[in-house]
Amino acid sequence: MGQILHGTATTTHAIRAAIQRSKTSLKDLAAQHGLNQKTVAKGRKRAFIHDAPMGPKTVRSTAEEAMVVAFRNHTLLPLDDCLYALQAAIPHLTRSSLHRRLQRHGINRLPEIAGARRQPFKRYPIGYFHIDIAEVRTEEGKLYLLWRWTGAPSMPLHGW
């Protein structure tokens, strides 16, 4: 059965054992095995020949991870909305770290709602424009978000 090495391993158990046993210079050993001299020096200092752990040195905060997972499962909010809501409780949370945490638990994608189908946008001829309005409720009251889509970005709108 073969060895399981981490992704960036440049040596095997046999090479590490040969490096530790050898009395030749670092330069000669590095040339012999096609390695960097620093890799050979590091291998000589070690008291073991197995792969060193390459994962994070500190344990992940399971309390924070549990909070993120519970929040997503309870609210079913999109990623950016979860990030905005959770950053008050977890200030160092970034969009990518939130996505990695959700991915680890298999909830990075929202479930499809039964019976709901996405409709494509209606096609308009060039020169028409479409305005979408979204209402957002905040502590200050209601806010309205407006955005405009035109049929052709370089085409001037007539009648305005």
Mean pLDDT, each 10-residue run in order, the chain (160 residues)? 70 89 92 92 88 73 87 90 92 93 90 70 72 74 68 48
Do the domain assignments include residue 97?
yes
Shared domain for 77 and 94, answered yes or no, is: yes
The CA-atom distances, in angstroms, between 118 and each of 52, 100, 108 are 49, 27, 19
Calpha distance 87→109 (Å, rounded): 20
Judged by DSSP in three states, 152 sits in coil
Do the domain assignments include residue 114?
no
The model's pTM is: 0.44
pLDDT reported for residue 2: 66
Shared domain for 48 and 79, answered yes or no, is: no
pLDDT reported for residue 38: 93
Decide: 20 and 12 in contact? Cβ < 8 Å.
no
Interior/surface letters 38-70, b for 16+ CB within 10 angstroms, e for the rest: ebbeebeeeeebeeeeeeeeeeeeeebeeebbe
In which domain, by residue range, is 46 found? 1-55
pLDDT reported for residue 31: 93
Decide: 68 and 98 in contact? Cβ < 8 Å.
yes
Calpha distance 115→138 (Å, rounded): 30
Q: Please count the structural domains in the chain.
A: 3
Do the domain assignments include residue 111?
no
pLDDT reported for residue 35: 92
pLDDT reported for residue 10: 80
DSSP single-letter state for residue 92: T
